[in-house]
Amino acid sequence: MDQNPQRVPLQLADHQRKLQVSLTQRSQTLGDLYEAACRVYADELLPSRLALAAHALRELTGGLPVALDLPIPVNPAYITEQVDILEPFWARSLKSGCHQNGEWIGTIDLPVRGLLQQVHRLFEWLRVNRPKRREVAREMFRKMDPYGLELPEDLVDLRYKAWKDLLRYFNNTAHGEPTTVQEFGTNLEALEKLLIDNLLRTPSVDLSVIDSILAEESGDA
Protein backbone atom coordinates (compact mmCIF):
# COMPACT_ATOMS: atom_id res chain seq x y z
CA MET A 1 0.00 0.00 0.00
CA ASP A 2 1.23 3.48 -0.88
CA GLN A 3 2.27 5.12 2.40
CA ASN A 4 2.19 8.58 0.83
CA PRO A 5 -0.92 8.75 -1.33
CA GLN A 6 -1.23 11.82 -3.52
CA ARG A 7 -4.37 13.87 -3.06
CA VAL A 8 -6.34 14.18 -6.29
CA PRO A 9 -6.71 17.86 -7.20
CA LEU A 10 -10.18 19.13 -6.40
CA GLN A 11 -11.88 20.74 -9.38
CA LEU A 12 -13.63 23.85 -8.08
CA ALA A 13 -15.44 26.46 -10.11
CA ASP A 14 -13.98 29.95 -9.88
CA HIS A 15 -16.62 31.16 -7.42
CA GLN A 16 -16.09 28.06 -5.26
CA ARG A 17 -12.35 28.59 -5.17
CA LYS A 18 -12.81 32.21 -4.09
CA LEU A 19 -15.28 31.12 -1.42
CA GLN A 20 -12.87 28.50 -0.07
CA VAL A 21 -10.08 31.09 0.14
CA SER A 22 -12.38 33.54 1.93
CA LEU A 23 -13.52 30.90 4.44
CA THR A 24 -9.93 29.77 5.05
CA GLN A 25 -8.89 33.35 5.76
CA ARG A 26 -11.40 33.40 8.59
CA SER A 27 -10.73 29.89 9.83
CA GLN A 28 -8.66 27.01 8.45
CA THR A 29 -11.31 24.66 9.80
CA LEU A 30 -14.06 26.38 7.81
CA GLY A 31 -12.02 26.16 4.62
CA ASP A 32 -11.27 22.49 5.27
CA LEU A 33 -14.93 21.68 5.94
CA TYR A 34 -16.01 23.34 2.71
CA GLU A 35 -13.34 21.46 0.75
CA ALA A 36 -14.37 18.19 2.43
CA ALA A 37 -18.03 18.78 1.53
CA CYS A 38 -17.15 19.49 -2.10
CA ARG A 39 -14.86 16.45 -2.33
CA VAL A 40 -17.42 14.08 -0.83
CA TYR A 41 -20.28 15.47 -2.91
CA ALA A 42 -18.23 15.08 -6.10
CA ASP A 43 -17.35 11.42 -5.37
CA GLU A 44 -20.24 9.56 -7.01
CA LEU A 45 -18.87 6.18 -5.89
CA LEU A 46 -18.79 7.06 -2.18
CA PRO A 47 -21.61 5.46 -0.16
CA SER A 48 -23.82 7.91 1.75
CA ARG A 49 -22.00 10.81 0.13
CA LEU A 50 -24.92 13.20 0.51
CA ALA A 51 -25.25 12.59 4.25
CA LEU A 52 -21.49 12.91 4.73
CA ALA A 53 -21.28 16.11 2.69
CA ALA A 54 -24.27 17.49 4.59
CA HIS A 55 -22.51 16.76 7.87
CA ALA A 56 -19.49 18.80 6.77
CA LEU A 57 -21.72 21.68 5.66
CA ARG A 58 -23.66 21.55 8.93
CA GLU A 59 -20.38 21.84 10.83
CA LEU A 60 -19.34 24.69 8.53
CA THR A 61 -22.51 26.70 9.13
CA GLY A 62 -22.32 26.01 12.85
CA GLY A 63 -18.69 27.12 12.96
CA LEU A 64 -19.20 30.47 11.25
CA PRO A 65 -20.46 32.32 14.36
CA VAL A 66 -17.54 30.90 16.35
CA ALA A 67 -15.02 32.06 13.74
CA LEU A 68 -16.59 35.53 13.88
CA ASP A 69 -16.47 35.63 17.72
CA LEU A 70 -20.25 35.67 18.00
CA PRO A 71 -22.42 34.07 20.68
CA ILE A 72 -23.78 30.73 19.52
CA PRO A 73 -27.04 28.95 20.38
CA VAL A 74 -26.57 26.84 23.47
CA ASN A 75 -25.93 23.12 23.02
CA PRO A 76 -29.27 21.26 23.50
CA ALA A 77 -27.45 18.90 25.88
CA TYR A 78 -26.95 21.78 28.30
CA ILE A 79 -30.67 22.56 28.23
CA THR A 80 -31.34 18.91 29.03
CA GLU A 81 -29.07 19.22 32.07
CA GLN A 82 -31.10 22.19 33.29
CA VAL A 83 -34.35 20.26 32.84
CA ASP A 84 -32.85 17.36 34.80
CA ILE A 85 -32.21 19.78 37.68
CA LEU A 86 -35.83 20.93 37.51
CA GLU A 87 -37.36 17.44 37.44
CA PRO A 88 -37.15 16.58 41.18
CA PHE A 89 -38.72 19.94 42.06
CA TRP A 90 -41.59 19.08 39.74
CA ALA A 91 -41.97 15.62 41.28
CA ARG A 92 -42.13 17.09 44.81
CA SER A 93 -44.68 19.71 43.76
CA LEU A 94 -47.02 16.99 42.49
CA LYS A 95 -47.27 15.72 46.08
CA SER A 96 -48.19 19.18 47.32
CA GLY A 97 -51.59 19.92 48.78
CA CYS A 98 -51.89 22.55 46.08
CA HIS A 99 -52.09 19.80 43.46
CA GLN A 100 -55.42 18.00 43.51
CA ASN A 101 -56.90 15.91 40.68
CA GLY A 102 -54.56 17.46 38.14
CA GLU A 103 -55.37 21.03 39.16
CA TRP A 104 -53.48 23.65 41.19
CA ILE A 105 -55.43 25.29 44.01
CA GLY A 106 -54.93 27.00 47.37
CA THR A 107 -52.02 28.92 48.86
CA ILE A 108 -48.51 28.33 47.55
CA ASP A 109 -46.72 25.91 49.87
CA LEU A 110 -43.04 24.98 50.15
CA PRO A 111 -42.93 22.34 47.37
CA VAL A 112 -44.68 24.64 44.89
CA ARG A 113 -42.57 27.61 45.97
CA GLY A 114 -39.43 25.54 45.36
CA LEU A 115 -40.67 24.59 41.88
CA LEU A 116 -41.48 28.19 40.95
CA GLN A 117 -38.08 29.39 42.14
CA GLN A 118 -36.34 26.71 40.10
CA VAL A 119 -38.42 27.54 37.02
CA HIS A 120 -37.35 31.17 37.46
CA ARG A 121 -33.69 30.09 37.57
CA LEU A 122 -34.19 28.01 34.41
CA PHE A 123 -35.58 30.93 32.42
CA GLU A 124 -32.86 33.24 33.70
CA TRP A 125 -30.28 30.69 32.60
CA LEU A 126 -31.90 30.51 29.14
CA ARG A 127 -31.99 34.31 28.88
CA VAL A 128 -28.25 34.53 29.55
CA ASN A 129 -27.09 31.44 27.66
CA ARG A 130 -29.41 31.17 24.67
CA PRO A 131 -29.06 34.10 22.26
CA LYS A 132 -31.84 34.53 19.73
CA ARG A 133 -30.89 32.88 16.46
CA ARG A 134 -32.09 35.79 14.35
CA GLU A 135 -29.93 38.26 16.26
CA VAL A 136 -26.90 35.98 15.96
CA ALA A 137 -27.55 35.65 12.21
CA ARG A 138 -27.96 39.43 11.85
CA GLU A 139 -24.62 40.06 13.54
CA MET A 140 -23.04 37.24 11.53
CA PHE A 141 -24.14 38.82 8.23
CA ARG A 142 -22.79 42.19 9.38
CA LYS A 143 -19.45 40.76 10.43
CA MET A 144 -19.11 38.78 7.22
CA ASP A 145 -19.64 41.92 5.17
CA PRO A 146 -16.23 43.14 3.89
CA TYR A 147 -17.17 46.70 4.86
CA GLY A 148 -19.00 45.98 8.11
CA LEU A 149 -22.14 47.74 6.90
CA GLU A 150 -25.48 47.43 8.63
CA LEU A 151 -27.87 45.65 6.27
CA PRO A 152 -31.47 46.82 5.78
CA GLU A 153 -33.96 44.99 8.01
CA ASP A 154 -35.84 43.47 5.07
CA LEU A 155 -32.64 42.06 3.61
CA VAL A 156 -31.62 40.64 6.99
CA ASP A 157 -35.01 38.92 7.22
CA LEU A 158 -34.63 37.42 3.74
CA ARG A 159 -31.12 36.18 4.41
CA TYR A 160 -32.04 34.82 7.84
CA LYS A 161 -34.97 32.85 6.40
CA ALA A 162 -32.74 31.42 3.67
CA TRP A 163 -30.03 30.63 6.24
CA LYS A 164 -32.51 28.92 8.58
CA ASP A 165 -33.98 26.81 5.77
CA LEU A 166 -30.51 25.73 4.63
CA LEU A 167 -29.46 24.81 8.17
CA ARG A 168 -32.58 22.68 8.54
CA TYR A 169 -32.01 20.93 5.20
CA PHE A 170 -28.36 20.04 5.82
CA ASN A 171 -29.04 19.00 9.40
CA ASN A 172 -31.89 16.70 8.33
CA THR A 173 -29.83 15.26 5.47
CA ALA A 174 -26.89 14.61 7.80
CA HIS A 175 -29.28 12.64 10.01
CA GLY A 176 -30.41 10.45 7.12
CA GLU A 177 -33.53 12.17 5.84
CA PRO A 178 -34.04 11.09 2.20
CA THR A 179 -33.02 13.58 -0.47
CA THR A 180 -31.82 13.57 -4.07
CA VAL A 181 -28.58 14.57 -5.75
CA GLN A 182 -30.43 17.33 -7.59
CA GLU A 183 -32.01 18.68 -4.40
CA PHE A 184 -28.69 18.56 -2.59
CA GLY A 185 -26.98 20.40 -5.43
CA THR A 186 -29.64 23.10 -5.39
CA ASN A 187 -29.22 23.66 -1.66
CA LEU A 188 -25.43 23.63 -1.91
CA GLU A 189 -25.56 26.30 -4.60
CA ALA A 190 -27.96 28.35 -2.47
CA LEU A 191 -25.59 28.13 0.51
CA GLU A 192 -22.61 29.09 -1.63
CA LYS A 193 -24.50 32.07 -3.06
CA LEU A 194 -25.56 33.25 0.39
CA LEU A 195 -21.99 33.01 1.71
CA ILE A 196 -20.54 34.71 -1.37
CA ASP A 197 -23.12 37.51 -1.18
CA ASN A 198 -21.92 38.21 2.36
CA LEU A 199 -18.20 37.38 2.26
CA LEU A 200 -17.26 38.60 -1.21
CA ARG A 201 -19.53 41.56 -1.79
CA THR A 202 -17.91 44.29 -3.87
CA PRO A 203 -18.42 48.07 -3.58
CA SER A 204 -20.60 47.93 -6.70
CA VAL A 205 -23.26 46.11 -4.68
CA ASP A 206 -24.77 49.22 -3.11
CA LEU A 207 -28.14 50.01 -1.62
CA SER A 208 -29.71 50.55 -5.05
CA VAL A 209 -28.88 46.95 -5.93
CA ILE A 210 -30.24 45.78 -2.57
CA ASP A 211 -33.45 47.71 -3.27
CA SER A 212 -33.82 45.94 -6.61
CA ILE A 213 -33.34 42.56 -4.89
CA LEU A 214 -36.03 43.37 -2.37
CA ALA A 215 -38.34 44.57 -5.15
CA GLU A 216 -37.89 41.26 -6.97
CA GLU A 217 -38.62 39.33 -3.78
CA SER A 218 -41.79 41.38 -3.22
CA GLY A 219 -42.90 40.73 -6.77
CA ASP A 220 -42.48 36.97 -6.30
CA ALA A 221 -44.49 36.95 -3.07
With a pLDDT cut of 70, the percent of the chain lying above it is 76
With a pLDDT cut of 90, the percent of the chain lying above it is 33
Q: Interior CA angle at 154 toward 150 and 156, to 5°?
A: 50
Q: Is the pLDDT of residue 209 over 50?
A: no
Short-list 93, 85, 140, CA closest to 116: 93
**What is the tens place of the pLDDT at every residue in 32-88?**
999 999 999 999 999 999 999 999 999 998 888 777 776 555 566 677 888 888 899
Q: Are 129 and 74 in contact (CB under 8 A)?
A: yes
d(CA 191, CA 198): 11
pTM of the model as a whole: 0.64
List the single range of 4-13, 107-116, 183-192 with lowest mean pLDDT: 4-13
Rg (alpha carbons) of the chain, rounded to whole number = 23
Average of per-residue pLDDT across 204-220: 50
Q: Are 136 and 142 in contact (CB under 8 A)?
A: no
Q: Based on the number of CB atoms within 10 Å of its own CB, is 73 exposed (0-12), middle (13-18) or buried (19 or more)?
A: middle
d(CA 89, CA 61): 37
**What is the tens place of the pLDDT at every residue in 147-185?**
666 777 787 788 888 888 998 999 999 999 999 999 999
Q: What is the mean pLDDT of the chain?
A: 81
SS3 content of the chain, % helix, strand, coil (to 5): 70, 0, 30
107-141 in b/e form (b: 16+ CB < 10 A) is eeeebbebbeebeeebeebeeeeebeeeebbbbbb
User: Measured in whole angstroms, how far is the alpha carbon of residue 101 from the centre of its chain?
Assistant: 43
Please report the pLDDT score of residue 83 as a whole number.
84
Please report the pLDDT score of residue 2 as a whole number.
52
Higher pLDDT, 206 or 54: 54
d(CA 178, CA 191): 19
